[in-house]
Structure 1
Amino acid sequence: MAVDTKPARSADSPSLQAADAAAQAASDVTRSMPHAQGPEKSILSSMLKDPEQWIGMALEEGLTREHFYFPNHGLLFETLRELNAKSQEIELVSLVQLLHDRALLESVGGTAAVTDIFTYAPNAAHFKNHLGLVKDKYVLRSVIRTCTEAVSEAYENPEETLSLLDRVESSVLGIRQGTETTQGFHIKQSVAEVISHFEALVHGQMEVQGAPTGYLDLDRMSKGLKPGEMFVVAARPSMGKTSLMMNITEHICIDQGIPAMVFSCEMTAFQIVQRLVFSRARFAMSQLGKGFKPKKEDLLRIQRAAKEIAESKLFVDDTAGILIDTLRAKARRRKREDNIGFIAIDYLQLLKSGSKQAQNSREREIGEISAGIKALAKELSIPILVLAQLNRGPEGRTGKSLGVPRMSDLRESGTIEQDADMIGLLYRTAYYAETEEDKEQEAGKAELLLAKNRNGETGHVPLTFIAELMRFETRARDEHDHGPE
């Protein structure tokens, strides 16, 4: 890739120099874009001769109009694909007439060009090989275009390095994903799943379509945390939202065996793992400061919990104030290397955006971060649980509404409400009790108000908070609990 390094004239501005350099680079690579003219003609020839077999195979392999380098080839393929979709007969004479009627015949090179393509391949024995060559050349062209655009952006916006790196990495990952095709499966693969699902329904068990959280009412309402979804859990400080996040992560990663990653902007990796080990072992560390000595069974539970956690595929990143672009890059790498199926982030307002537009607007910055997390969930096709802070709204309420959060209490709530698929508002009633009697009665009670659920019902999830273990557990409903909304 040639870039002019001669000194620019003094009258030229830096932006013009950058534009000239990028244009020169683009010009140099465009002249020799990779392509495979013969294989393109060959696969079109096979489709014309036996459309029922070869058009179907091409579509199964993910072939699109964009894979063809020559516009006339792409136009001809699109016409064949359209006719095949309508189950219309495809043969040479009627195809030429159709192209003529649509004023497209000259665009594909005329009658002679269509006839030449029809007679080009004497047999279709090499169809799949030629199809692979066409797709390979398309990948190379996509890489060149991406790199050329990156060169141009690097000249024009040199100060947005991390944002540029994130966009380039995302584009390259998109190229890779575009080369993958999903094959069909034999019906036998689903029989066991159908029977298992039937047995669960017979026994009254819930249907969970995504990763189960371990909390019965939450799983019933959400049907599990599904790929591509963003689940926001918001609360005031000291409500235990980090504990709830880690309890869910523990269930998904350790109990269900799904590789997971935690981004902790507030606590260190040591603190996160320490909480996880002793909470899972159901041992209260606070006892040690009071002269309590662990019993043999305590030590065995701690050792077992530590072993289970050590053998799991749980990854913790405790970078403080991490940029959303950096977080996404790390998540992509972990997805690529360890196929993580779940991400938890603590917490949204501690992330940062490196874009210049967000520097002077906190609301704009939160919007970019929220949109970036949602886009990452869709890109990696995994659920992401992200914690968020609430403002002081719950403290300002009175009567039975004292302490009860609402979605409007979310800081910079507009963009978060828009991007999230589910929003859970966590609170503990004892925290706002006004008398000692009320505190004693409400001790340990907690609720997760599922205030938004894009694909299901909303309502209250009753929980029990065991403070000494930093652990939430499912709680049966009683007459004082709110019913589903």
Structure 2
Amino acid sequence: MNDLVPSSSDTTSSQSITALLQRSPPANLAAEQALLGAILTNNKAYEHVSDFLHPSHFSDEINGRIYEAITRRIERGQLADPVTMRAEFEHSGILAGAGGPAYLAQLLNAMVGIVNAGDYGRVIHDCWIRRQLIDIGETVVNNAYGARTELDGTDQIAASEEALFKLATDKGQDGGFVSFERALTHALETAEQAFLRTGDIVGLTSGLRDFDKKTGGLHPSDLLILAGRPAMGKTALATKIAFSAAQAIMREAEDNNTPPKGSVAIFSLEMSAEQLATRILSEQSEVSGERIRRGDIGQKEFDRFVRVSRELQRLPLHIDDTPALSLSAMRTRCRRLARTKGLNLVVIDYLQLMRPAIGTRPESRVLEISMITQGLKAIAKELSVPVIALSQLSRQVESREDKRPMLSDLRESGSIEQDADLVMFVYRDEYYLQQRQPKETTFESPDKYQAALDDWQRKMAAIHNKAELIIEKQRHGPTGTVQLFFDGQYTRFSDLDTFHE
């Protein structure tokens, strides 16, 4: 019988929930009326709020419609005061729900001063943001209870982060025109940085001398596509660039005796963080990655391996190996890293393994890739960092005699080529020539076989340990080919010293 009687704790909980449900959403009607009265008294008050305040930000629908009508008239260059607006209000019936024309007098009486118009607008806007947060919170709770059964727990987290990100970026306070004077000043500052730095590099260094000379380094807001066929070394080259950028950030911090003012993020959707770290360790310690995995190393090599690993631990390099990561989750993680550690470079390996933003359902794979590349470009611009995305090439490369890639070889190439600021291909002729080694059984005589073998060996010697980085598109500079050195034993790219060859 006692089980049917609510306990005091149940009653208290029920009362708390009831009180929570009965709370009114954040709003400040007095501020809304004061702002409208200030604008109607002096239209210059509108200039203090026009860049961030929208009619939908008002909690009272009538006040929002009044603000919208005032906005339309002022934007047309016409006077908006109680006299000029009265006819429009009466014709549209906006004031009918607020008591008719008498409401205009109430607005004018509520006005305190046009100097405070900006403060009124910010109060109204802040209340709107908090109402949006309440809506997002309700959606999160409803989804968690199963309102959207197609989303699992991880997708719901990503969707929630996406909603918060959209609110943070679309809150109406960012964007707008930038004066040419300000843009010109920024351009001069960039040119000055290039002039003061050695090596003609204004952007972040890639660690590759000839590439930096051709591009000026890695520039903020740029989307760079690095593509190639399997076994060409895309991941190794991207890792080299990321590692060199992290080293540059660390060196600058050590020179100034300060903590690193940024970091490098690698999203490895194909390889695990451990595999990627092993590659970097192999390259820096000059111990073959294959031997590291087998444990086939001596004491001296192991000591060098440990020493190098301790040095690498200090680098501001972060690896996220979440498979099939969505664009919205990646964007949220980049923003979080930028806020907590600073962010200078983002590397994605590779974009065909990504998923579009949560909640979107592209009709085709081409459209899906288009949404992803547009999202990556948006991340580059919003965070003002270079973004390097690796990409696959179609198999049509293999059917040509000259297997050097072209823009048309990019999978779903239209959107990738369009959105990218720079498209480059990594190509190693040695890989293909190695597969064409002559076989003795295919020749009529030993002499012909030996002649073919000598010719093949001569060609192999000419291209041994050489790679090409083909810059096929560069929005802000020349195209062309950069010669690189490739050490297959350590999967390591570096500059090719042609003078001492």
Q: Same fold (TM over 0.5)?
A: yes
Q: CA deviation at 1:293?
A: 4.6
Q: 1:356 to 1:177 in 2, by over 3 A?
A: closer
Secondary structure (helix, strand or coil) at the match of 1:239 reads coil
Q: Is residue 163–residue 325 contact of structure 1 (8 Å, CA) maintained in 2?
A: no
Secondary structure (helix, strand or coil) at the match of 2:49 reads helix
Q: 1:133 to 1:330 in 2, by over 3 A?
A: same
Q: How far apart are the structure 1 equivalents of 2:87 and 2:213?
A: 58
Q: How far apart are the structure 2 equivalents of 1:203 and 1:457?
A: 21
Q: Is residue 75–residue 108 contact of structure 1 (8 Å, CA) maintained in 2?
A: no
- Tell me which residue corresponds to 2:94: 107
| Structure 1 position 40 matched with structure 2 position 27 | no
Paired letter, 2:407: M
- Tell me which residue corresponds to 2:158: 166
Secondary structure (helix, strand or coil) at the match of 1:171 reads helix
- Tell me which residue corresponds to 1:386: 389
Greater Rg, structure 1 or structure 2?
A: 2
Residue identity over aligned pairs, in percent, reads 27
Q: Is residue 31–residue 124 contact of structure 2 (8 Å, CA) maintained in 1?
A: yes
> In the alignment, which of 60, 64, 67 is matched to residue 70 of structure 1?
60
Q: CA deviation at 1:44?
A: 2.5
Q: Is residue 165–residue 332 contact of structure 2 (8 Å, CA) maintained in 1?
A: no
How big is each residue's C-alpha offset from its partner over 1:351-396, in whole Å with a ceiling of 9 and x where there is no partner? 4679899899876776665566556556655433222232333332
Q: How far apart are the structure 2 equivalents of 1:182 and 1:354?
A: 22
| Structure 1 position 446 matched with structure 2 position 462 | no
Q: How far apart are the structure 1 equivalents of 2:139 and 2:358?
A: 18
How big is each residue's C-alpha offset from its partner over 1:70-120, in whole Å with a ceiling of 9 and x where there is no partner? 34433443455566667x575636xx3266369866436665433432332
| Structure 1 position 423 matched with structure 2 position 423 | yes
Q: CA deviation at 1:240?
A: 1.4
Q: How far apart are the structure 2 equivalents of 1:455 and 1:225?
A: 12
Q: CA deviation at 1:265?
A: 3.2
- Tell me which residue corresponds to 2:81: 92
Q: How far apart are the structure 1 equivalents of 2:95 and 2:483?
A: 66
Q: CA deviation at 1:331?
A: 3.9
Q: Is residue 446–residue 462 contact of structure 1 (8 Å, CA) maintained in 2?
A: yes
User: What runs of 5+ residues in structure 2 fail to find an aligned partner?
Assistant: 1-19, 250-259, 437-455
Q: CA deviation at 1:439?
A: 1.8
> In the alignment, which of 418, 423, 437 is matched to residue 458 of structure 2?
437
> In the alignment, which of 309, 315, 335 is matched to residue 312 of structure 1?
315
TM-score (norm 2): 0.69
Q: How far apart are the structure 2 equivalents of 1:279 and 1:121?
A: 70
Q: How far apart are the structure 2 equivalents of 1:226 and 1:195?
A: 14
> In the alignment, which of 228, 241, 251 is matched to residue 234 of structure 2?
241
Paired letter, 2:464: A
Q: How far apart are the structure 1 equivalents of 2:347 and 2:282?
A: 20
Q: Is residue 205–residue 248 contact of structure 2 (8 Å, CA) maintained in 1?
A: no
Q: How far apart are the structure 1 equivalents of 2:41 and 2:132?
A: 30
Q: Is residue 347–residue 388 contact of structure 2 (8 Å, CA) maintained in 1?
A: yes
Q: 1:362 to 1:134 in 2, by over 3 A?
A: closer
Q: CA deviation at 1:268?
A: 3.1
Q: 1:70 to 1:347 in 2, by over 3 A?
A: same
Counterparts of residues 24-423 of structure 1 (less than 5 Å): 32-52=24-44, 54-59=45-50, 62-78=52-68, 80-81=70-71, 88=77, 90=79, 92=81, 96-97=83-84, 100=87, 106-107=93-94, 111-123=101-113, 127-147=117-137, 157-161=148-152, 162-179=154-171, 181=173, 194=188, 197-198=191-192, 200-201=194-195, 206=200, 208=202, 211-215=204-208, 218-219=211-212, 224-227=217-220, 229-256=222-249, 258-277=262-281, 279-280=283-284, 283-285=286-288, 293=300, 303=307, 306=309, 309-322=312-325, 327-328=330-331, 330-351=333-354, 373=376, 376-377=379-380, 380=383, 382-398=385-401, 401=402, 403-414=403-414, 416-417=416-417, 419-423=419-423
Q: How many residues align?
A: 436
How big is each residue's C-alpha offset from its partner over 1:380-429, in whole Å with a ceiling of 9 and x where there is no partner? 5543322223233333221xx2x201233334545544554433211112
Secondary structure (helix, strand or coil) at the match of 1:236 reads coil
Taking only aligned residues, the RMSD between alpha carbons, in angstroms, comes to 4.7
Q: Is residue 267–residue 348 contact of structure 2 (8 Å, CA) maintained in 1?
A: yes
Counterparts of residues 465-480 of structure 1 (less than 5 Å): 465-475=486-496
Paired letter, 1:46: A
Q: 1:388 to 1:149 in 2, by over 3 A?
A: same
Paired letter, 2:110: Y
How big is each residue's C-alpha offset from its partner over 1:132-190, in whole Å with a ceiling of 9 and x where there is no partner? 321221012222443455677675530223444423321112223345846999x99x9
| Structure 1 position 462 matched with structure 2 position 452 | no
Q: 1:349 to 1:102 in 2, by over 3 A?
A: same
Secondary structure (helix, strand or coil) at the match of 2:53 reads coil
Q: How far apart are the structure 2 equivalents of 1:409 and 1:212?
A: 28
Q: How far apart are the structure 1 equivalents of 2:35 and 2:56?
A: 15
Paired letter, 2:312: I
How big is each residue's C-alpha offset from its partner over 1:46-81, in whole Å with a ceiling of 9 and x where there is no partner? 3344543x4333246x22333222344334434555
Paired letter, 1:471: R
Q: How far apart are the structure 1 equivalents of 2:190 and 2:420?
A: 31
Q: How far apart are the structure 2 equivalents of 1:291 and 1:307?
A: 19
- Tell me which residue corresponds to 2:448: none
Secondary structure (helix, strand or coil) at the match of 2:232 reads coil
Secondary structure (helix, strand or coil) at the match of 1:34 reads coil
Q: How far apart are the structure 1 equivalents of 2:498 and 2:173?
A: 47
Q: Is residue 260–residue 343 contact of structure 1 (8 Å, CA) maintained in 2?
A: yes
Q: Is residue 206–residue 220 contact of structure 1 (8 Å, CA) maintained in 2?
A: yes
User: What runs of 5+ residues in structure 1 fail to find an aligned partner?
Assistant: 1-27, 479-485
Q: 1:103 to 1:31 in 2, by over 3 A?
A: farther
Q: How far apart are the structure 1 equivalents of 2:222 and 2:382?
A: 11
